[in-house]
Amino acid sequence: MDSINPNHPMSVNEKYMRRCLEIAKNGIGSTAPNPSVGAVIVHSDRIIGEGYTSPFGGPHAEVNAICSVKDKTLLSKSTLYVTLEPCSHYGKTPPCANLIVENKIPKVVIGLKDPHEKVAGKGMEILEKAGCSVTLGVLEKECREHHRRFLTFHEQKRPYIILKWAETADGFIAPIKELRNSKAEPYWITNTYSRQLVHKWRSEEQAILVGTNTVLEDNPKLDTRLWKGSAPIRLIIDKNRKIPKGFHVLDGKQPTIVISSINNLDNKIQNYDLQFIEFNDKIILGLSKNLFVRNILSVFVEGGAKTLQAFIDANLWDEARIFIGKNTFEKGIKAPTFQGQLTTERSIVNDQLKIIRNDKKHHI
Ligand SMILES: NC(=O)C1=CN([C@@H]2O[C@H](COP(=O)(O)OP(=O)(O)OC[C@H]3O[C@@H](n4cnc5c(N)ncnc54)[C@H](OP(=O)(O)O)[C@@H]3O)[C@@H](O)[C@H]2O)C=CC1
Ligand SMILES: Nc1c(N[C@@H]2O[C@H](COP(=O)(O)O)[C@@H](O)[C@H]2O)[nH]c(=O)[nH]c1=O
Ligand SMILES: [Zn+2]
């Protein structure tokens, strides 16, 4: 296996790996629990084929890249670049490593070793045994960043957790009840552009989670109506089953899982499942383990304050995406308190957006 010099200026390998990462973005939100991989095939410094992972159950990136090559005779003189080690196991589709060997592709350049225990090195082994030259670790940092949900899931045995909320300039996520309508509906702090961005983000994650009070006070839909991507699975914390039928989250329009300490499933509700859980002081840890078993790769936590704080206090979160509006409430529900590393700060018209990473992650 070739080794990489990290101090080398942008190499040909990096140039094509960047393209892999670029196209891999197209699959985010539709491939879970599989990763969204990007692959390109290069002959004589020219891209002759490229592909990214199809929606879950469909062909992998390497298959799509190989299929896209018009003149298949060139494959035996080409290099395949791919963000993640080609798979070696029969899942919903046959192993990509075998397909690469069958097509006699002589060189494969890989960003990252697959942490999935069914692959983890076995894909590279198949390639090398067949005489293929394998280079590992090109733009590894960037590939880790792109595949962060998949890596967290397999390495930490829990979903990747993104917290998101909107707060006022004086740090409140909701005003006092007296200032709200009697009808259950959201009290908007952010502008329409920020709200559209939130719908894009919802489409990128496999599940979205909210607490009981948020449902009772906001009657949220938790869908992606302002974006074209698919809607996430709704996860609703409702310990004592306080949420009455008729609330949007129980409308059956999206798969919905109610997390409760009452273990009886209401079969009359469509698209609905129950996750029984003990509501003890380890509830977030227990829930993370349950969601791992359910093959949920990522969760977007949209509040309210108690729910967000529970994830922060358990140190089970990866990113926090916080909007700060211009207005003030003076009184109301305080935004969560936490610490992390600021990675992004920008304006969305009159809203501020901060993205913060958890630099002290809890491994379970
Ligand atoms: N600006 C924003 O971005 C957002 C604002 N909001 C606003 O926030 C308000 C709701 O926030 P908040 O009152 O903090 O409530 P939450 O929505 O966080 O719900 C809290 C309730 O959910 C259950 N729950 C959640 N987490 C746990 C846990 N770890 N253990 C046990 N039970 C849990 C409990 O219900 P029980 O008591 O039944 O056991 C708890 O009282 C609303 O007014 C809403 O408008 C909400 C979301 C986002
Ligand atoms: N108030 C507030 C937010 N509130 C969040 O959005 C939910 C409503 O979702 P939906 O019914 O699908 O539009 C609501 O319950 C809460 O979780 N979000 C924001 O980006 N900005 C805001 O100012
Ligand atoms: Zn594959």
210 within ligand 2 shell (Cβ under 6 A): yes
DSSP line for 91-112: SSS--HHHHHHHTT--EEEEEE
pLDDT in tens, 103-112: 999 999 999 9
Determine contact, residues 158/151, Cβ cutoff 8 Å.
Answer: no
For residues 338-360, average pLDDT: 96
Determine contact, residues 281/260, Cβ cutoff 8 Å.
Answer: no
- Starting from the CA of residue 58, give the closest ligand: 3
Q: Could you give the count of Cα atoms lying within 13 Å of 238 in the half-sphere of its Cβ?
A: 23
Note the pLDDT of residue 360. 85
Shortest-distance atom of ligand 2 to CA 174: 1
Spatial distance between the Cα atoms of 343 and 346, rounded to a whole number of angstroms: 10
Give me the phi and psi of 133, to 5 degrees please. -85, 125
- Starting from the CA of residue 98, give the closest ligand: 3
Whether residue 7 is predicted with pLDDT greater than 70 in this model: the reply is: no
Q: What confidence category does residue 266 fall into, taking pLDDT thresholds of 50, 70 and 90?
A: confident
pTM listed for this prediction: 0.94
Burial of 347 per CB tally in 10 Å (0-12, 13-18, 19+): exposed
303 within ligand 1 shell (Cβ under 6 A): yes
Q: Would you mind telling me the total number of residues written for the chain in this entry?
A: 364
pLDDT in tens, 192-215: 999 999 999 999 999 999 999 999
Ion ligand 3 — residues with CB under 5 Å?
A: 60, 87, 96
Active site residue 62: yes
Chain centroid to CA 20: how far? 18
Whether residue 40 is predicted with pLDDT greater than 90 in this model: the reply is: yes
Spatial distance between the Cα atoms of 10 and 4, rounded to a whole number of angstroms: 12
Compute and round to an integer the Cα radius of gyration of the chain: 23
Note the pLDDT of residue 157. 95
CA angle (307, 312, 318) in 5-degree steps: 110
Residue 282 DSSP SS3: coil
Chain centroid to CA 13: how far? 26
Q: Which of 8-17, 45-54, 93-102, 269-278 has the lowest mean pLDDT?
A: 8-17
Of the chain, the percentage scoring pLDDT greater than 90 comes to 88
Q: Could you give the count of Cα atoms lying within 13 Å of 86 in the half-sphere of its Cβ?
A: 33
174 within ligand 1 shell (Cβ under 6 A): yes
Burial of 46 per CB tally in 10 Å (0-12, 13-18, 19+): exposed
Q: What DSSP character marks residue 73?
A: G
212 within ligand 2 shell (Cβ under 6 A): no
Note the pLDDT of residue 349. 97
Whether residue 89 is predicted with pLDDT greater than 90 in this model: the reply is: no
Instruction: State which amino acid sits at residue 265.
Output: L
Q: Give distance in angstroms: CA of 186 to centre of ligand 2.
A: 6
Shortest-distance atom of ligand 2 to CA 188: 23
89 within ligand 1 shell (Cβ under 6 A): no
Of the chain, the percentage scoring pLDDT greater than 70 comes to 97
